[in-house]
Amino acid sequence: MQLLTTKQVIIRISASIAAAEFLIMLFINIIPYRLNAIAEAALDVIMLSALTTPLIYLWIIKPFVDARDEAHAQVSHLAFTDPLTQLANRRQLLSHLQRIIAGCNRHKTYGALLLIDLDGFKLVNDMHGHDAGDAVLVSFAKRMRESIRAEDFASRLGGDEFVVLIDRIDANEQQAREKTLKIADKIIQLANTPVEFNGNTLQVGASVGITLLGFEHLDADAAIRKSDVAMYRSKKAGKGRAGFSD
């Protein structure tokens, strides 16, 4: 839906008033009795208002407001969404992560931040081009978003790095670790799924760094840094695995 231009608004208002006034004059001329000037003017004003108000609202004001609201929603979406994968971007991630940290502290339960880096992604880009790399990113993002719970949160941090936030896993630390590892293993399996692109089979893997969120007071950036360190340890340990920051 496109915003009405100033010219379109003026034309529509003028057309609405002209059409309404034409109908009013016809009505006044066909009524069986004569009105004095004051009565005719009053009738004209009342009928003009009654006819043009709903017409101007439905034909001009409502389309303008709907188009403006849609434009604002699109701008907001672009500001908080990665344009390639349609996942949340870093800006939205930081805001959501801070809320999850606060909620886990308040409810005395654990959440988790999983930072995922695609192993072998650079090789795909170098061998098959950036379009192939984009296809891998889009495919992985879609599979990951569909595999997590509705209350959890997926984001593209940048490049071939992604983040999954798991909210309120368990109040018991050991149980929270075990459940988070199962989720991480599932994400690694998703990354291992080949992607077909232009007749080529593209294969990557994933290394995951995990930080439990809950009883330690962290800011969002610190939590991401801890998971980043854990992810690189996982890579050095042989890739295709997950490890905790502590």
Tokens of 168: 């309120």
Tokens of 133: 């790399």
Alpha-carbon span 117 to 129, nearest angstrom:
19
Residues serving a catalytic function are: 160
Beta strands 242-244 and 205-213, pairing class? parallel
Instruction: Say if residues 240 and 119 touch (Cβ distance below 8 Å).
Output: yes
Q: Whats the size of the chain, residue-wise?
A: 246
Tokens of 136: 């891998």
Contacts 24+ apart (CB under 8 A), 216-222: 217/105, 218/101, 219/98, 219/101, 220/93, 220/94, 220/97, 220/98, 220/101, 221/94
